[in-house]
Amino acid sequence: MSSLNKVLLIGRLGKDPDIRYTPDGSPVASFSLATSENWTDKSGTRQERTEWHNIVAWNKLADICKQFLSKGRQVYIEGRIQSREYTDREGVKKRITEIIASQMVMLGSRPQGAEAGVQPMEPVARPATDADQAFGDSGITDSDIPF
């Protein structure tokens, strides 16, 4: 393997997703995500450190984020790290690091004040297929696995 760029985060949204569109009409959603680390220091005092991550989602995932996510919502984000440079309004060159999301899973319950019209997703049972039956009980045990 030559390299790996993968990020897994669980945190809470710091703001509602902002959606923009590229000139060709592709949606892009961006939002901040807070992850926190808690520990007790040597003196017994409880400490907390929060990291803020800039999340960017494209296309269908951007639409889903805009529709279902809101400030305070807990989510799992999977993606990759990407840095880019840009020039701000004052003409100063800046560099930003972002997480380009490839997957998003909503966790926990909706935060207070969330839209009443959005229903939580329910797991959907699917009927067993011939493939499930063919591979479901193959007779392989843990001792058959070489690692």
Question: pLDDT (tens digit, 9 = 90+) per residue, 48-94?
Answer: 999 999 999 999 999 999 999 999 999 999 999 999 999 999 999 99
Other Cβ atoms closer than 10 A to 30 = 17
Question: Please, is 31 exposed, middle or buried when counting C-beta atoms within 10 Å of its C-beta (0-12, 13-18, 19+)?
Answer: buried
pLDDT of amino acid 108:
82
Total-model pTM: 0.70
pLDDT digits (tens, 9 = 90+) for 100-109: 999 999 998 7
> What's domain 7-142's architecture?
Beta Barrel (2.40)
Three-point CA angle 89, 94, 100, nearest 5°: 110
User: For residue 144, is pLDDT > 60?
Assistant: no
Q: In the block, which residue shows the tokens 């009927």?
A: 127
